[in-house]
A and B are shown apart, each in its own frame.
Chain A
Amino acid sequence: MRNFLHLLNSRLSKSILTLGIIFWNSYALAKDVGKGYFDDAPLSLSPELSKSPMYTLVGITDWGKEILHVYGITTIIALIVFLCVSIPILYVLFRFRATGEEQELPKQVKGNYILEIIWTVIPLILLSLIAVPTWQSIFRQDKAVKANLQDKNALRIEVVGYQWWWKFVYTDFGVITANELILPENTPVVFSITSADVIHSFYIPRFGGKLDAIPGKVNKLTYVTPALKSNSGPEGDYYMGQCMELCGLSHALMRFQAVIRSQEAFQDFIKSHNQPPVVTTASEKRGEEVFNLCIACHTIAGTPSANLPSEKIGPDLSNFGDRKTLAAVTRKNNMANLKAWLKNPLRFKPGSLMPDLQLTDQQIDDVSAYIQFSTAKNKD
């Protein structure tokens, strides 16, 4: 109990500090109206909240910063208005309490047109302060989409939402992957976002706002990917994303990751992705056979599974061995989790279309080895 109180105490103090910092940051952002953008440094100072991988107040792309700019101005204005309302309320409540001994009625004021006009006009002015940057940023994003669609250097990626995972198609390279979105640093990207079944929503908070993945409609989103962090390893930087629109039973389990890599690493990924898997051990060999049960829904590039004409309803597994996670970024990718998933997919993800194939333990071991090790492109 004491520990808990201690925790509460320290967290609470940190949170109050966080609030202060958010407000300070908003002020810092608003100060900069029309002068360019802050980088993420001041916002990421917030000690507690920003630890969350989905923290929304860190924009590290051009679009993300643009949004934060409007965000900051709006927050400041909202706070000013809040003070303008709460201070008079508190004052009134303390100043004008009834004592019970009043002999006279208070002054019966029925209204004051001048005052009322004032508090109509001032909000209008404050609103225009929000409205103009809002309006500008909407149209800037619209222009950026049009420009980047024409840009030869831009990367075009088709994002398709499925119940409950994400497909990423690199249209210019014929590369398809799932749930881990690998991006080169400092490159303009245009996402064409749509859905294969119900409405989903594509959101990587640190890169900017969300946009819905709607069946029968393509939404376009663009930004320049951030640079690699100074301390990032060979695998690059990971950024959390998640589906934000209620899309059925396992909506909460529809996560994904964006991975920022260097230009070279990205080119390696593109080149190696469609190479056939390298089968070495006997177990992997047996697993390759077992995988034939999976090819109606799953593809591994360079194998017969890639030659089926039908639309695959399961995630592409071509580079599965390189992925850090499985089941739409809900579990760490290791043999134990993979076997557990194959054993009972619905335990991991209620309502998933992945059936329990009733594989024997031996088969599960083999196919896991095949999927896990043969497909790894970067592990040699």
Chain B
Amino acid sequence: MATYLPKTGILSWLTTVDHKKIGILYGASAFFFLIFGGIEALLMRTQLILPNLELISAQTYNGLVTMHGTTMIFLFLMPLISAFFNFMIPLMIGAPDVAYPRMNALSFWVFLFGGLLLNYSFIAGQVPQVGWFAYANLTSKTYTPDHSVDFWILGIQIVGLASLISSINFFVTILNMRCKGMSLLKMPIFIWASMITQVLLFLSLPVITIALVMITADRTFGTGFFDPGLGGSVVMWQHLFWIFGHPEVYILILPAMGIVSEIIPVFSRKPLFGYPVMVYSVTAIGFLGFAVWAHHMFTTGLGPWASTFFSLATMMISVPTGMKIFNWISTLWGGQIRFTTAHLFAISFVAMFTIGGLSGIMHASPPIDYHQHDTYFVVAHFHYVLYGGAVMGLFGGIYYWFPKFFGRLLSERLGRWQFWLYMIGFNLTFFPMHFLGLQGMPRRNFTYAPDQGWEFWNIVSSIGAYITAVGALLFAFNVIYSLLRGQKSGPDPWDGRTLEWSLESPPPEYNFAAAPHVNQVDDWWHQKYVDGKKVSPPYQPTQPDSPPHLPNPSFWPLVLAIGVTLLATGFFFSTTGIYISGFGALVIIIAAYGWSYETP
């Protein structure tokens, strides 16, 4: 029905259901939002460079804190990870597409509109100021009478919906669409990490959904779920938030672990050390991730038994994590290590993540957490995990798979510059935060007094942030330059191990001309190396045997996403809101029917 829609031009991007195009859209929007998140971070670091500075008001600063955290997690890391899921999962499992191509498009548009709605708060001049965790009852109508929190609540709700849709999609894709011979224990490790991530997503998202509905009810209708005056409990919000929020942390780190586990073997020319153990450890981390949420809440007075339980459970996570780190080192051990930019990022992931993990073990112990909680020590910790860890790993993934995305290599020379600027800038920014934490500097303070002795490390930290910014600009230049002038990569520039390298770069719309068949982990490698001797690689044919069955483009996902956004927008208006929401619901229903009755 929708076959009249074009294959190129802007309209093709708006109606695309091709997982590769959607992946690129996800990646592009992630970096679009990174500009916001990054500028927010730089502004904060500038305000804190000296005590008692008044460059930024308290109101603006609290807004920046909130938006930086929310943007980086939900609008940068999540979509960037989603970009990898979209582009790589079907290629690595030898599938023509994802299980539900239109759902995939829906997920992207819903995410994009959610992110834009959240950032519209800047234009509306009502930026949420409650932190990315939005602890009740600061979020109540009493303490935040304007609409700023509503932007956060509805933005997260919409972005969460997008993640839920895509998690089901990818989970089914991985379970159902693997090529012949690829049993679960022959999947690339990145696919394992992705699969566990989807499980974490679709199990944890409903909890935050309900929590957000409850806070919306509190704010809009005057219920008292989180109002102690009406018998509600503010700690309840923290439980609900962290039951989602802690798995969320693993949602951000597991895919990066998977990417690193793909990169290190390739550039060491050795198989991943202990593949089955790596699989079990990913699964164990995902499973334990659901039993540790209250370690964010030790200082709320959980009582001795709960504190002990959550403390021990948290420490247990370090066992599978430590196993992974030693397995990565063992993979490198005895290899022929090539220091490409991708590999540099991957190795730095291992190192930085270790530091973050170790400080994590420290505040897994409640007595220590009583000191470190809400100080800069924690800020240092989670930036080492999410920035030194996840972001570095993902940058590794970008340098590694960029040729597969676009057919051209990123400049290695610029890449190395970026890597070192990032390493130096990152460590200069965040290592001193350990010291600030030991000196008792609280998080989320818009300024500090000169009598506290915090100036020196704050100066160092801010300088580090500027260095990182230079690195980020360099990366932007590298991407633009390489897209236009980059060296053509060919199908397999790195001597890769997994199926995607048997395809031309970028892959054709139908992915695999001939359905692949695998016999073992890293099958592509074994097709290229027989008895340790390289043979001519059996690349995929460039023309398919039979015309491929491709899903038709559709504009219904876009329409449905607009409906969802309208439905949410209604909450901002007191009298006309019901009509806007109602119209949104109508659009959703129309789109759902249009969707059901068109040829997929």
A: which residues have CB within 8 A of B?
11, 15, 18, 22, 48-49, 51-57, 66-67, 70-71, 74-75, 77-78, 81-82, 85-86, 88-89, 92-93, 96-99, 102, 104-112, 115-116, 119-120, 123-124, 127, 130-131, 134-135, 137-139, 141-142, 163, 197-199, 201, 203, 205, 208-212, 214-217, 219-220, 240, 242-252, 255, 330, 350-351
Contact = CB atoms under 8 A, between A and B. Distances in A.
A324 to B, nearest CB: 12
B126 interface: no
B365 A134 contact: yes
B440 A251 contact: no
26 contacts: A52-B453, A56-B372, A67-B370, A70-B367, A78-B358, A78-B361, A86-B354, A88-B329, A89-B347, A98-B335, A98-B336, A104-B532, A106-B334, A108-B270, A111-B273, A112-B274, A115-B326, A123-B318, A135-B311, A138-B307, A201-B373, A210-B370, A216-B232, A244-B373, A247-B138, A251-B446
Contacts of A53: 440, 451-453
A78 B441 CA distance: 22
A350 B58 contact: yes
Contact of A105 (B235, B308, B358, B529): B529
B523 interface: no
Contacts of A120: 319, 322-323
B510 interface: no
Given A78-B359, A209-B299, A211-B299, 7 more contacts: A52-B453, A55-B438, A56-B438, A96-B336, A109-B330, A119-B326, A212-B299
Given A127-B319, A214-B235, A248-B138, A92 B333 contact: yes
Interface stretch (B37-45, B79-87, B128-136, B550-558): B128-136
Contacts of B59: 249, 350-351
Interface in B164-178: none
A111 B440 contact: no
Contacts of B456: 11, 48
A137 B273 CA distance: 39
B323 A252 contact: no
B590 to A, nearest CB: 42
Contact of A111 (B276, B299, B366, B452): B276
A48 B436 CA distance: 11
B301 interface: yes
Interface residues of B, number: 97
A93 B330 CA distance: 12
A52 B361 contact: no
Contacts of A56: 371-372, 375, 437-440
A74 B368 contact: yes
Contacts of B350: 85, 89
B137 interface: yes
A215 B338 CA distance: 57
Interface string B332-368: 1111111100000001001100110011011011111
Listed from nearest, the 6 A-B pairs whose CB atoms lie closest are: A209-B370, A54-B440, A216-B228, A252-B445, A52-B453, A111-B274
A211 B367 CA distance: 11
B368 A70 contact: yes
Nearest to B355: A82
Contact of A92 (B137, B304, B329): B329
A157 B273 CA distance: 58
B316 interface: yes
A56 B436 CA distance: 10
B358 A82 contact: yes
A108 B438 contact: no
Contacts of B332: 89, 92-93, 96
Nearest to A14: B456
Contacts of A142: 303-304
B327 A116 contact: yes
B362 A78 contact: yes
A52 B452 contact: yes
Interface string B258-274: 00000000001111011
Contacts of B218: none
A252 to B, nearest CB: 4
B62 interface: yes
